[in-house]
Structure 1
């Protein structure tokens, strides 16, 4: 299969290391447009759409393969093998942060570092773990999505985006949700919100930057603190921001934090 077509892969920039950008649920690679230009002068950048999202090849969607995040992780490793050059940094938003971690587990040593934006290994509160939602909350969310996907999208997208001073971003995310095939979106929502990757991510040795909004309904601060505790080579940076998409609503702060992290990994002239 043509991987470039399958995942609508876009390669830009040049440098000795590759940054590969992987978007979250309901999004596509257009959501990276505020960050990508900042890095393309110093790095090779690869952006893509998860199968089933954006401009990906919908005929490649296999409900069995993508019934777990491991299917998306295998795709990510395919893309790294085909399009990456030099050390690889996976920049993953939301569920794609876990997809990146699983890809790392499948092929240890190929990924040099992770930048996880709004990550969560488990969205449901379990025992002492605080994920931010009860199981009843998630079941209700999924039931609403099943019965009225477009209505759910119109209601939830602005809440997920946050950014109260920039309503156009909420509208953009709503439109992105509404462009997604409803059947694929329903399955991906279940895979995303019912996954528990705490065992998969615990102890992952790869250097990791955890970027978290100071006010995020989807991934509260307790989740970032948890990840910082279980990832031995992690840094946690709080971005002053309301919402789950700081790479869109606070791109300058995100870019500065990522720059500082990459400078530690690749030196002051990171990527050159």
Structure 2
């Protein structure tokens, strides 16, 4: 009989942890982006169950996480989410973890790996952005006016913003089902939490954290990504010593939905 510690039980409940695959094999921890849940990783994660222990979880405030655990002060920066990731891998006693983070979770993974490098064996950053705002000598993809307008719209009508923006973020206009799924995911999030997380996400600046990463890292960049354009992916690659940079033919910002097979293939090629 397996005895689960109180710490592990708390972490599992807080983040709605689901473990599958090959127990005892190298663990892979999948972390989702803004407005999403662990469900966004279902196709990619399933591909690794035969030879990895797969750990899926929801960021606090998303999916079926414990909403009572959402503390605005704690999650007023990405550090709160990174602390949760470190607590999670420690509570489950995971080592040599392959952390796969999409969008904002890429930076959450960076912060977690810098905090506890002994726990992580590889980082896979899918559509990462350390700063969304343009800056002198840095292309983030958005002007201050862009971000201000987006956040104002979120405040006024989150559901309307979701219905308008999710298909744009997903890309793949010829496959409307991708945009519909992302829209439905956005619309399931508590609007108050979504508005706060949007500010934390789009006003963050984690550029200075990248050079501190010592974990082997793969940066996956999509073609025609409206959220994290090519210069951003290149910047992340340049700032993380020894990282590998792969530009996928998948378009949009959510290749885990639009082209999971290509994402899986790229990760497997890196981990060989």
Give the alignment's TM-score, normalised by structure 2: 0.94
For residues 44-93 of structure 1, give each alpha carbon's deviation from its aligned partner in whole angstroms, at most 9, with x where no partner exists.
Answer: 01000000000011011000000010000000011111225341010000
- The answer for unaligned runs of 5 or more in structure 2 is 1-6
Aligned pair count?
A: 263
2:271 is aligned with 1:262: yes
Quote the residue 2:118 is aligned against: 109
Distance 1:38 1:66 in 2: 32
Alignment of 1:59-208 (within 5 A): 59-208=68-217
Match of 1:6 among 14, 21, 37: 14
Going from structure 1 to structure 2, the CA distance change for 1:134 and 1:108 (only over 3 Å counts) comes to: same
Q: Which secondary structure does the structure 1 equivalent of 2:268 belong to?
A: helix
Distance 1:73 1:47 in 2: 15
For residues 133-170 of structure 1, give each alpha carbon's deviation from its aligned partner in whole angstroms, at most 9, with x where no partner exists.
Answer: 01111011000000111100000111111122321121
Shift of 1:203: 4.2
CA contact (8 A) 2:250 2:258 kept: yes
Structure 1 residue ranges (4+ consecutive) displaced by more than 6 angstroms after TM superposition: none
Shift of 1:202: 2.2
Quote the residue 2:3 is aligned against: none
CA contact (8 A) 2:163 2:183 kept: yes
Quote the residue 1:53 is aligned against: 62
Distance 2:93 2:151 in 1: 36
- The answer for unaligned runs of 5 or more in structure 1 is 264-272
Give the alignment's TM-score, normalised by structure 1: 0.94
Q: Which secondary structure does the structure 1 equivalent of 2:117 belong to?
A: coil
Quote the residue 1:246 is aligned against: 255
Distance 1:25 1:234 in 2: 24
Distance 1:48 1:253 in 2: 22
2:59 is aligned with 1:28: no
For residues 9-67 of structure 1, give each alpha carbon's deviation from its aligned partner in whole angstroms, at most 9, with x where no partner exists.
Answer: 00001153110000000000000011011101000010000000000110110000000
For residues 172-192 of structure 1, give each alpha carbon's deviation from its aligned partner in whole angstroms, at most 9, with x where no partner exists.
Answer: 111111110011000000000
CA contact (8 A) 2:117 2:214 kept: no
Going from structure 1 to structure 2, the CA distance change for 1:212 and 1:84 (only over 3 Å counts) comes to: farther
CA contact (8 A) 2:107 2:206 kept: yes
Shift of 1:109: 2.3
CA contact (8 A) 2:250 2:262 kept: no
Shift of 1:242: 1.9
